[in-house]
Structure 1
Amino acid sequence: MPRSSLSRRNLLKTTAFAAASVVSAPYLRHSYAAGKLTLGVWDHWVPGANTTLTKLCNEWGEKNKVEVTIDYITSQGDKDLLTASAEAQARAGHDIMSHRAWQVQVHRNVLEPVDDVIKTLIAKAGPISPVSEYLATHEGKWFGIPTTVGSQVKPCCSRMDLYKQHCGIDLTAIFPANDNRDPKLVDSWNWDLYLKSAEQLFKAGFPVGLPMGQTSDAIDSTGAMFRAFGSVMVDEKDNIKIDSNETRTALEYFKKLMPFNPPEVYAWDDAGNNRWLISGKGAGIMNPPSAWAVAKRDNPQVAAQCWTHDMPRGPTGRFVGQLPFFYGIWSFSQNKQAAKDLLQFLSEKEQSRQLVAASSGYDLPSFKSYYDFDTWQKVEPPPGTVYNYPPRGDEQPSITGYPARPDVAAQIYNQSIHTIMVAKVCQGNEPIDKVVKWARGELEGLLRS
């Protein structure tokens, strides 16, 4: 796959210049925006996915007489984040830059508002993911456009054979590869049933694997679980809410659940749960279809038994961790109009359809009206294995740290407060009241900073 030759040092050497402020106006696409555009884009891990994005950009460029150059920048070692930070500091670099999750809020002071593009997209595609809106807006203005590329949710990915054999649960009956769900069966998939089945699978020698370290897979799934129990750390008005019955109930639940996981989950990085499932030792994880995709190559027998499906329901609902990616246009871009035109083109349904297909269903657009793409029905084995990857039914996307102000929530997320609480209670055997008091102290510190 193409890689970026852009270095942080070279970027910082580039002469910085001030960007003019532009007042948002109703968005109009220009047939011939003309000029040049440079993109710094997240380097996709799925072979061929970059090729499809390049093809789409080149097609648009040829039609609109714009020379488009793309640098694919790996996220390994956070090189994409370092590059974006260097460009923001230097006020020079690409015109368009990929931003993961919280990074739009980090760089919003040097990002061009894109309300005009978003309004046009919503008019065509309907409502946008509330998580994407939460992450990309400030004081009512949009500073990022949700990408199809890289965006993901983290539902259950389970071994349907093991659940059927050891728990008597037919996951394909509860979550079929179509819209004909039985509401009673769906309602039965709750955290109580998850706990019961986790114990059965553990005793059978095939534990579930829920990471409980300080990387995104652990933070996303654990945060969604806390929210399902109604636990909130900080509300939108900066009130600390962690000291609650809901938080204690969630931690009591984790005390029961975590012993049915392999003990090494507290040290897993984002690849740990994938390896656990692919090895054939694990019965289920919470992850995008990446583990299944690698299993197709490395352990086809496991892949043939994987079924992606909704998270369990808790007392306050069914929540799944969402991690959107965004495109941002730097305020110092020399061709903002062409940048907006290109991003509108890439975000439209037909182009998103091609990008989803290129990723074998891993990439997830922020528009629910796009969830009818046939990729999620067609990819196999088994047929329909990732049909339920997009949130359907009553499953609600969530991000850890919500509903706190995004700058506060980002610190809650990045400091892994949820997973550390679970580790203190379940691995360190600390009393729940002591751990809640610790978390409250951490949150007070965040709000003072």
Structure 2
Amino acid sequence: MMRGEPRGHRLGSKLTRRGLLRGLAVGAAVPAVSALLAACAGGQATPTPAPQPTPTAAPAAQPTPTAAAASPTPAAPPTPTPVVLKGTKLNILFGTFFVPETQDLMKQQLQEFGKETGVEATIDFINWPDLQPKISAAVQAGAGPDIVGMWDTWPSLYKDALVDVAEIVEKRIKGEGDYFDWVKKTVMVGDQWLSIPIGAPTSAQVYRKSLLEKAGWPDPNNPPDTWEDLFKIGVEFKKLGMPLGQAFGHSTGDPPSFCYAFMWAYGAMEVEADGKTVAFNKPQFVEGMKLFLSYWKPAFDETGLSWDDATNNRAFLAGQIGWTFNGSSIYIAAKKQAPDIAEDIIHHIYPKGPAGRFNNLGSWSVGILKYSKNVAGAKAFLEWWTAPEQFRKWLEIQQGYQVAPTQYYLDDPYYKADPKLVPYVEAAKYGRNKGYAGLGNEKAAEAFARYVVVDTFARAIQSGNAEEAIQWGASELEKIYSR
């Protein structure tokens, strides 16, 4: 789903909360903070706005001579100092987008905001695996970008460093309706809004229709709807030289998209609604894992253990695999690079299992860091950018890759103009957050950052032992959720 630098697979990596907040550095030591901050802020110092004049309260009115019994007129309240944006600066830090036109649009929107307000605004895009270390380093140093884009569980990690933006969120809710449950459970920190939800990229099954026909699937327009049927057709795909392709390495998009959805479909979850009781080692999940393992070699590309979020995109577009889970980016790229493949693609919502159909969703959000010298400018930009006039353009250019955080946008034509993209918007109905049935809080973030659920699958594949792998995963989750 999200483009990132390849990450090799590692089992049982240890990560403390302090280490998590220092940036989840992997392997080599983190570069000097000053270098990271320079990269975060594009080499620009954070500006200090000019001091504003102190408002002077109007003098109290005196009693009128002819009405001695009348009460004195109270003093007029001080006139609020107007927010001065002109001449200030603003820097925004986001991860890169798989639909590159999104970045071009954001730059244009930022220029438009700058012309309207006189704010000198800049935006930087970096690889997603590098974003959290950059934010963490900036928080530690108290300097860097003013506004940051965040992955779904990050608001809880940075709760002490984020500005309350409830007034902006409340305007969005009043005008557009409430957010989906999976949005609120990942973005809200307790009862606080410390960042503004912007929805999430969704995944769907991506098939080659012609391959379904060759494999003898009875209705190629309606691909397999259950996990077991997916695995069975995968056997036929592999016989035809185009197996199922799924990443199980350490990357933040495709591996958890598969693993969390399968876990939920087979009755397990990280933790119960109390946020403490681990509910991972369930008999139904053990049986589901055994089913998956029985099809691993006959149906899958076995190099998937080391794949990252970009590997399956390349493999699918190169005709090496016939199925994968992915955002709409494969289809969007195929329309430009390989129209014949784009024509042959058919999407379908996630498979269902004995416990139901679920999609791993948690809303991205944008927040303002407290050290910013231009909090007023940052709030003004986010209120302007998340309003429908601007936000709808941002959703539209991604062609369904980003599902909106509220129902308000889901009937927009860009979600349904191309029938092939409809399954992506349908995913919003089946969303569950990391940490379900609890909240997508810092504990869920730690479990995600340590790849506990993903590594459970990887261990099972490597050992062939479903029970041992799930017991290991439950033990690792106990360590996190019992604290």
TM-score (norm 2): 0.77
Asked whether the equivalents of residues 208 and 284 of structure 1 are also in contact (C-alpha less than 8 Å), the reply is: yes
| Residue aligned with 1:157, SS | strand
Post-superposition CA distance 1:89-148 (Å, at most 9, x none):
122223211112222221111101122211211121123132222222112111111226
Asked whether the equivalents of residues 400 and 414 of structure 2 are also in contact (C-alpha less than 8 Å), the reply is: yes
Where does residue 250 of structure 2 map in the other structure?
214
Give the distance between the partners of 1:372 and 1:296, measured in 2 at CA. Answer: 24
Does 2:210 align with 1:203? no
| Residue aligned with 2:426, SS | coil
Structure 2: which amino acid aligns with 1:197?
Answer: I
Return closer, same or farther for 1:119/1:425 CA change in 2, 3 Å cut-off. same
| Residue aligned with 1:354, SS | helix
Pairs within 5 Å for 1:345-360: 345-360=384-399
- The alignment-based identity, stated in percent, is 20
Give the distance between the partners of 2:292 and 2:216, measured in 1 at CA. Answer: 20
Structure 2: which amino acid aligns with 1:83?
Answer: K
Give the distance between the partners of 1:116 and 1:170, measured in 2 at CA. Answer: 50
Asked whether the equivalents of residues 185 and 433 of structure 2 are also in contact (C-alpha less than 8 Å), the reply is: no
| Residue aligned with 1:135, SS | helix
Where does residue 82 of structure 1 map in the other structure?
133
Where does residue 477 of structure 2 map in the other structure?
443
Does 2:355 align with 1:316? yes
Give the distance between the partners of 1:410 and 1:392, measured in 2 at CA. Answer: 22
Post-superposition CA distance 1:27-80 (Å, at most 9, x none):
xxx9976243332233334333222112223323333x241412213116x332
Return closer, same or farther for 1:351/1:448 CA change in 2, 3 Å cut-off. same
Post-superposition CA distance 1:340-382 (Å, at most 9, x none):
232122223332221123334323321232122322344xxxx
Post-superposition CA distance 1:369-411 (Å, at most 9, x none):
2122322344xxxx53222211358x41123432345222122
* Cα displacement (A) at 1:223: 0.6
Give the distance between the partners of 1:47 and 1:249, measured in 2 at CA. Answer: 41
* Cα displacement (A) at 1:419: 2.5
Structure 2: which amino acid aligns with 1:70?
Answer: T
Where does residue 368 of structure 2 map in the other structure?
329
Asked whether the equivalents of residues 329 and 339 of structure 1 are also in contact (C-alpha less than 8 Å), the reply is: yes
Where does residue 143 of structure 1 map in the other structure?
194
Pairs within 5 Å for 1:39-438: 39-63=92-116, 65-75=117-127, 78-147=129-198, 151-170=200-219, 172=221, 189-216=225-252, 217-235=254-272, 236-259=274-297, 260-378=299-417, 383-391=418-426, 395-405=429-439, 406-430=441-465, 432-438=466-472
Asked whether the equivalents of residues 153 and 444 of structure 2 are also in contact (C-alpha less than 8 Å), the reply is: no
* Cα displacement (A) at 1:169: 4.7
| Residue aligned with 2:346, SS | strand
Give the distance between the partners of 1:331 and 1:422, measured in 2 at CA. Answer: 39
* Cα displacement (A) at 1:7: 4.4
Structure 2: which amino acid aligns with 1:335?
Answer: N
The size of the alignment, in residue pairs, is 409
5+ long unaligned stretches in structure 2: 1-33, 49-80
5+ long unaligned stretches in structure 1: 1-5, 18-29, 175-187
Give the distance between the partners of 1:267 and 1:257, measured in 2 at CA. Answer: 18
Asked whether the equivalents of residues 83 and 376 of structure 2 are also in contact (C-alpha less than 8 Å), the reply is: no
Give the distance between the partners of 1:114 and 1:44, measured in 2 at CA. Answer: 25
Q: Which has the higher mean CA deviation after the structures are superposed, 356-365 or 311-320?
A: 356-365
| Residue aligned with 1:388, SS | helix
Return closer, same or farther for 1:16/1:53 CA change in 2, 3 Å cut-off. closer
Asked whether the equivalents of residues 137 and 143 of structure 1 are also in contact (C-alpha less than 8 Å), the reply is: yes
Q: Which has the larger radius of gyration?
A: 2
Where does residue 8 of structure 1 map in the other structure?
36
Give the distance between the partners of 1:237 and 1:147, measured in 2 at CA. Answer: 25
| Residue aligned with 1:147, SS | strand
Asked whether the equivalents of residues 219 and 400 of structure 1 are also in contact (C-alpha less than 8 Å), the reply is: no
Give the distance between the partners of 1:15 and 1:280, measured in 2 at CA. Answer: 48
Return closer, same or farther for 1:33/1:231 CA change in 2, 3 Å cut-off. farther
Give the distance between the partners of 1:292 and 1:113, measured in 2 at CA. Answer: 38
Give the distance between the partners of 1:353 and 1:194, measured in 2 at CA. Answer: 35
Give the distance between the partners of 1:31 and 1:121, measured in 2 at CA. Answer: 23
Structure 2: which amino acid aligns with 1:119?
Answer: E
| Residue aligned with 1:285, SS | strand
Post-superposition CA distance 1:218-264 (Å, at most 9, x none):
12221111111121132233112222223213212312332210111
Structure 2: which amino acid aligns with 1:310?
Answer: I
Give the distance between the partners of 1:352 and 1:224, measured in 2 at CA. Answer: 29
Give the distance between the partners of 1:170 and 1:31, measured in 2 at CA. Answer: 64
Structure 1: which amino acid aligns with 2:231?
Answer: L
Structure 2: which amino acid aligns with 1:306?
Answer: I
Asked whether the equivalents of residues 352 and 365 of structure 1 are also in contact (C-alpha less than 8 Å), the reply is: no
* Cα displacement (A) at 1:154: 1.7
Return closer, same or farther for 1:281/1:311 CA change in 2, 3 Å cut-off. same
Structure 1: which amino acid aligns with 2:445?
Answer: A
* Cα displacement (A) at 1:327: 0.7
Give the distance between the partners of 1:391 and 1:68, measured in 2 at CA. Answer: 39
Return closer, same or farther for 1:80/1:435 CA change in 2, 3 Å cut-off. closer
Return closer, same or farther for 1:267/1:306 CA change in 2, 3 Å cut-off. same
Asked whether the equivalents of residues 114 and 121 of structure 2 are also in contact (C-alpha less than 8 Å), the reply is: no
Give the distance between the partners of 2:416 and 2:281, measured in 1 at CA. Answer: 43
